[in-house]
């Protein structure tokens, strides 16, 4: 990063070209990851568990085994909309997960309970992620308006150097906004992977799935985890792209 800040315009332009070329494969990866999640979930939704637990029953069994009797389980609308809300201590499971006895549904339910266990144990990445939520909510709303303002001043910059400097300033603020979002997606990675790891262990320890069934559920969770990985990569490239544009403009203005 320090090398980029001190680099000359030609080097920065080359770096910007490389970063820009990365977006097409990232977009393809993003679509492929999303398709992979639904394909794996659909496939293993047809594989019923031997013990016959539903997603909700599996979630309840794991919560009770960890002494978390006060955590509630609720249905939520949609498909693959399962989530854990730490503010209400509620595991929300979609219809396809709540009542299904498939290894896919049980795996997803256990993953969300993994988040509840993380919260109960004050898992560090979860604490950081929770504190970042209001910051990211605020900066996410600002990023696009800042970019639009920067574009307006850039158009005016053809008639005024001061307008171009203002454009660079607002674009720099957009970089800061993207930094917080990029940090949020980065912190999300250990949170999600750890929740899946906890889920697989709990499913075996509580006797809900066999080792073979956990292997099948793991394929669903692994596919879902890759969507968070590509989201981080995309946000990082977007932040780098904006940063390089700001640095190029700054160097030009300092000539």
Asked whether 66 and 110 are in contact (CB, 8 A), the reply is: no
Rounded CA-CA distance 227/233 in Å is 10
Active site residue 212: no
Q: Contact 246/175 with Cβ under 8 angstroms? A: yes
CA angle 30, 119, 79 (to 5 degrees): 40
Stated length of the chain? 255
**CA–CA separation, 120 and 130 (whole Å):** 13
CB atoms near residue 47 (< 10 Å) = 13
Order of strands across the sheet that contains 90-94: 72-76, 90-94, 83-85
Q: What is the dihedral of CA 9, 15, 21, 23, to 10 degrees?
A: -110
Pairing verdict, β 90-94 and 83-85: antiparallel
Where is 55: in which H helix or E strand? helix 55-65
Q: Are 117 and 111 in contact (CB under 8 A)?
A: no
Residue 85's CB is within 10 A of a number of other CB atoms, namely 16
Collapsing DSSP states into helix, strand and coil, what is residue 206?
Answer: coil
Enumerate the active-site residues.
112
């Amino acid at each position: 990063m320090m090398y980029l800040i001190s680099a000359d315009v030609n080097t920065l332009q080359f770096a910007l070209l490389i970063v820009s070329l990365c977006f097409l494969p990232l977009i393809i990866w993003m679509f492929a990851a999303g398709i992979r999640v639904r394909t794996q979930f659909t496939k293993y939704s047809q594989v019923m568990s031997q013990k016959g637990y539903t997603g909700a029953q599996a979630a309840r069994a794991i919560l009770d085994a960890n002494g978390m009797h006060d955590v509630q389980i609720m249905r939520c609308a949609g498909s693959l909309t399962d989530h854990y809300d730490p503010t209400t201590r509620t595991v929300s499971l979609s219809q396809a997960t709540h009542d299904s006895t498939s290894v896919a549904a049980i795996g997803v339910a256990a993953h969300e309970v993994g988040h509840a266990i993380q919260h109960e144990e004050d898992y560090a990445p979860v604490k950081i992620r929770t504190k970042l939520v209001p910051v990211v909510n605020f900066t996410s709303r600002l990023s696009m308006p800042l970019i639009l303002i920067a574009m307006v001043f850039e158009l005016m910059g053809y008639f005024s150097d001061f307008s171009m400097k203002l454009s660079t300033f607002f674009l720099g603020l957009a970089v800061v906004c993207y930094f917080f979002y990029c940090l949020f997606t980065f912190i999300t990675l250990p949170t999600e992977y750890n929740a899946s790891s906890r889920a697989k262990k709990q499913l075996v320890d509580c006797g809900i799935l066999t080792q073979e069934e956990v292997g099948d559920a793991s394929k669903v969770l692994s596919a879902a985890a890759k969507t968070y990985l590509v989201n981080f990569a995309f946000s990082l490239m977007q932040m780098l792209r904006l940063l390089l544009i700001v640095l190029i403009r700054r160097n030009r203005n300092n000539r």
